[in-house]
Amino acid sequence: MPELPEVQTVCDVMRPQIVGKRIENIRIEEEKVIAGADVDKFKKCLIGAAFEAVNRRGKYILLLLDKGRRLTIHLRMTGCLLVAPAGYPAEKHTHVTFELEGGQELRFIDQRKFGRMWLTEACGKVPGLDALGPEPFDKALTAEYLKERIGNLHRKIKDCLLDQHLVAGIGNIYSDEILFRAGIHPAREACSLTEAAYERLAAQIPDTMRYYVDKNRIDAQTYLKTGGREYQNTPYLQVYGRAGKACLVCGERLVKARVAGRGSVYCPCCQRLDETT
Ligand SMILES: [Zn+2]
């Protein structure tokens, strides 16, 4: 499932290819992808509009259009956006195709069909968007902020990190990576974390995300060739997907356990449940 680094990659790859381009036609194969609008209205509003900017907020992609409109896209589990020449073979599960001036197409592909797009006014309401917490890179994300929000809760810290109201953009993969780097067991209750642990967490959230955004950089051609499905940063993950393998810090075998309803990988030696630091 794409999290902040992967969504950032989609935006960075797409931006130079679509900004300034006008939508000439739209083909919709799966109507349920278009949330909260009828398909004819959706087409009517968008055909003739031009993309002005590509932004990201949490895991949402914000495509700003002229005429004061915004197309917001959430990729959910398996969604993907590709920009391809009109004649380029379409991926399976291509649900929406925007034909752009100049012969390129912006295609929305989604095997499991949980991804959604919303057409609104530029500042329009989209479910979940306004309730997002600060971005990992936001100066507001400090140890004090985290402590203030969750410091009294008997809620597992992993569960807190997955909460988009607390911090935007973190999912199962990067919550494991952040907690490993901060030396915090995923099942520790938020109220058990010391001041020092909150400091480590507040530092590791932006550092970890920045590192994986950087490692996921890819050129548009390779991105298209791999169908947007191959994440370049996967080989750099230190715990996620490495259960049973040696911890890169201490050599202990990494453990996988269910925490907050999600499979979580951690080092039982570097991330102790009874830690008091
Ligand atoms: Zn370790």
Q: pLDDT tens digits, residue range 81-132? A: 999 999 999 999 999 999 999 999 999 999 999 999 999 998 899 999 999 9
What does the pLDDT look like over 187-201, one tens digit per residue?
999 999 999 999 999
Q: How far is the CA of 210 from the centre of ligand 1 (A)?
A: 22
Q: What per-residue confidence (pLDDT) applies to 37?
A: 75
**Among 262, 268, 272, 275, the one annotated catalytic:** 262
The region of weakest confidence among 32-36, 149-153, 272-276 is 272-276
CA of 212 to the centre of ligand 1 (A): 20
What's the angle, vertex CA 260, arms to CA 259 and CA 266, rounded to 5?
A: 30
3 included as an active-site residue: yes
Q: Give me the residues paired with residue 246 across strands.
A: 253
Active-site residue, 69 included? no
Among this protein's residues, is 59 annotated catalytic?
yes
As a whole-number percent, the residues of the chain with pLDDT over 70 amount to 100
206 counts as catalytic: no
Candidate list 5, 6, 56, 59, residue with the active-site label: 59
pLDDT score for 71 = 97
What is the overall mean pLDDT for the chain? 96
Task: Please tell me if the domain spanning 4-121 has the same topology as the one spanning 143-266.
Answer: no
pLDDT digits (tens, 9 = 90+) for 7-51: 999 999 999 999 999 999 999 999 999 997 789 999 999 999 999
pLDDT of residue 123: 87
Each domain of the chain, given as residue ranges in start order, spans: 4-121, 143-266
End-to-end CA distance of the chain: 32
| Res 276 pLDDT > 80 | no
Q: What's the pLDDT score for residue 143?
A: 98
* Residue 185 Cα to ligand 1 middle (Å): 11
Give the Å distance between the CA of 274 and the centre of ligand 1: 15
Domain 143-266, architecture per CATH: Orthogonal Bundle (1.10)
CB 169 within 8 Å of CB 199: no
- Four-way CATH pick for 4-121: 3.30.830.10, 3.20.190.10, 3.90.110.10, 3.40.50.11540: 3.20.190.10
**DSSP class of 236:** G
Q: How far is the CA of 249 from the centre of ligand 1 (A)?
A: 5
Q: What is the pTM of this model?
A: 0.95
CA 5 / ligand 1 centre spacing (Å)? 24
